[in-house]
Amino acid sequence: MAEIKAFKGMRYTEKAGGIGSLCCPPYDIISGAMSKTYLDMNPYNVIKIELPTCLPDTAEPYAAAGKLVREWLAGGILQNDDTDCIYVYQMDFTALGEKKSVTGFICLVKLEEFSKGVVLPHEETLSKAKTDRFNLMQATDCNFSQIYSLFKDNGASLEILAEITQTPPTSAFTDDGNVTHKLWAVSDTGFIGKIVELLSDKKIYIADGHHRYETALNYRNAQTADALESGTGAYVPMMLVNMENPGLVVFPTHRIVRDLPNYEQGAILEKCAEYFDVTPNLSREQSSAMLDEAYNKGDKAFALYTGGGEYTVLKLKDIGVMREFMAGASEDLRNLDVSVLHTLILERVFGIDKENMANQINLTYTRVFDEAISAVDSGKANCSFLLNSTRVSEISGVAAAGEKMPQKSTYFYPKLTTGLVMNQIIDN
């Protein structure tokens, strides 16, 4: 099963400044305006090497990132730890009106093709993002961020990690989203041995970072045997979290439908009524309450917003209909809210096929409820669908069946910060 190991993490030194001014969010959620904020925050902010395409007036951004890494290592801004460590990582935050904490550990995980059933994906990926990440890895020979992954161990790791988190962290800061990030660099061989043994018979489920994992596989396959032997190119850094961790939070990703020709709301609702109980003319509060009730009962439902402050809740009459339209899929995949929405409404009612969805021709994704609403109110979209969250158990079920959800089916919160600890694959 999963083969993991400790590593000599590449971390910022005190010479670089405060760690809070050096980290940034994951590359794929940083907008243009956000990038300027981090570029201005500290001249050594990790965004310059994690997302070099945001650097102004840079003709070859990936080469520029590779040059910066070498310069920062030579200048003592970055430094590899002297001993192999596993890095315990904790995030304290507020979500859904409650204070929460999620703790895991960062280590290297041996790269395995998905077909081997050791590391399991749950979402489809986009080729453009993989090209960007591959170019960056080729130019820098580094992993600047970790893949967020889950495993099952009936809670055994929670007690092991709790012993570490009772001690002062190696580094910590609170970001502008009021998430506190704490890191412990643990070199104790007894601790490392326990963690390695714990994962030796486990499967790993990717929660967030599918593009980076597939890119790491491509990078490994492009290396020579000597390079793989001398570096860590056969491995990829992951943040591993126990699936039973009570702090795990998954937000829904809402769908914005736009640029549809001949869009007519009445005809849409009439077609939906074949499979759904349709409850129109609801307020935001009423529709949210109905979605909550459906979630708690295990029913499949979403709210359709078409403007004017009015919502329509669509609740599936019979989940059995999904066997007809997804006959070759597992029950886990058929029963997902996003599968119901995509199959019965986006494909059959709107005529938006899978290729259209993948290329986002008539579909946009957002985690932000108000963004889905404002897109319709501003006239930029025909309508929006507001969804419930996907359960962690549903994610593992689909992955274990060897299947993948549609893109943007999950949004794990909070996102891992980038810059606390990195991995230099090859020492150049």
Question: How is residue 113 written in tokens?
Answer: 């093709």
Over residues 250-273, mean pLDDT:
92
Q: How confident is the model at residue 182 (pLDDT cuts 50, 70, 90)?
A: very high
Higher pLDDT, 399 or 218: 218
Rounded mean pLDDT, 301-325: 96
**What are 328-358's pLDDT values in tens digits?**
999 999 999 999 999 999 999 999 988 888 7
356-51-241 Cα angle (round to 5)? 80
How high is the pLDDT of residue 28? 85
Stated length of the chain: 428
Per the prediction, the chain carries an average pLDDT of 93
**Looking at residues 149-157, what average pLDDT do you find?**
90
pLDDT at 211: 87
Q: Give the integer Cα–Cα distance in Å for 67 and 348.
A: 51
Percent pLDDT > 90 in the chain is 78
Distance of CA 355 to the CA centre of its chain: 22
Residue 300 has pLDDT above 90, yes or no: yes
* Domains recognised in the chain with CATH numbers: 4-249+413-424 (no CATH), 253-388 (3.30.1760)
My answer on whether omega of the bond before 25 falls inside 30° of 0, hence cis, is no
Lowest mean pLDDT among 24-33, 213-222, 269-278: 24-33
Nearest to 332, CA basis, from 205, 239, 212: 205
Paired tokens of 102: 């999620």
Return the pLDDT at 358: 76
Q: Give percent of the chain above pLDDT 70.
A: 99
pLDDT in tens, 28-70: 889 888 999 999 999 999 999 999 999 988 889 999 999 999 9
User: What is the pLDDT at residue 416?
Assistant: 97
- Highest mean pLDDT of the ranges 96-100, 136-140, 410-414: 136-140
Mean per-residue pLDDT, 401-420: 89
Instruction: Report the pLDDT value the prediction gives residue 73, as an integer from 0 to 100.
Output: 98
Q: Within a 13 Å sphere around the CA of 300, how many CA atoms are in the beta-carbon half?
A: 22
Q: Tell me the backbone φ, ψ of residue 84, rounded to 5 degrees.
A: -65, 135
Q: Please tell me the predicted confidence (pLDDT) of residue 128.
A: 67
Residue at 229: amino acid letter: E
- Residue 61, both tokens: 């951004």
- pLDDT for res 350: 92
Position 395 pLDDT exceeds 70 = yes
What average pLDDT does this structure show over 365-375? Answer: 94
Q: Is the pLDDT of residue 126 over 70?
A: no
Q: Are strands 78-80 and 10-12 parallel, antiparallel or unpaired?
A: antiparallel
Question: Is pLDDT of 428 > 70?
Answer: no
Amino acid 202: pLDDT: 94
* Lowest mean pLDDT, pick from 15-29, 59-73, 119-133, 378-392: 119-133
Considering only residues 13 and 123, tell me which one the structure prediction assigns the higher pLDDT.
13
Measured CA to CA, the distance from residue 394 to residue 100 in angstroms comes to: 21
Q: What is the 3-state secondary structure (H, E, C) of the chain?
A: CCCEECECCEEECHHHCCHHHCCECCHHHCCHHHHHHHHHHCCCCCHHHHCHHHCCCCCCHHHHHHHHHHHHHHCCCEEECCCCEEEEEEEEEEECCEEEEEEEEEEEEECCCHHHCCEECCECCCHHHHHHHHHHHHHHCEECCCEEEEECCCCHHHHHHHHHHCCCCCEEEECCCCCEEEEEEECCHHHHHHHHHHHCCCCEEEEECHHHHHHHHHHHHHCCHHHHHHCCCCEEEEEEEECCCCCCEEECCEEEECCCCCCCHHHHHHHHCCCEEEEEEECHHHHHHHHHHHHHHCCCEEEEECCCCCEEEEEECCCCHHHHHCCCCCHHHHCCHHHHHHHHHHHCCCCCCHHHHHHCCCEEEECCHHHHHHHHHCCCCCEEEECCCCCHHHHHHHHHCCCCECCCCCEEECCCCECCCEEECCCC
What mean pLDDT is predicted for residues 371-384? 96
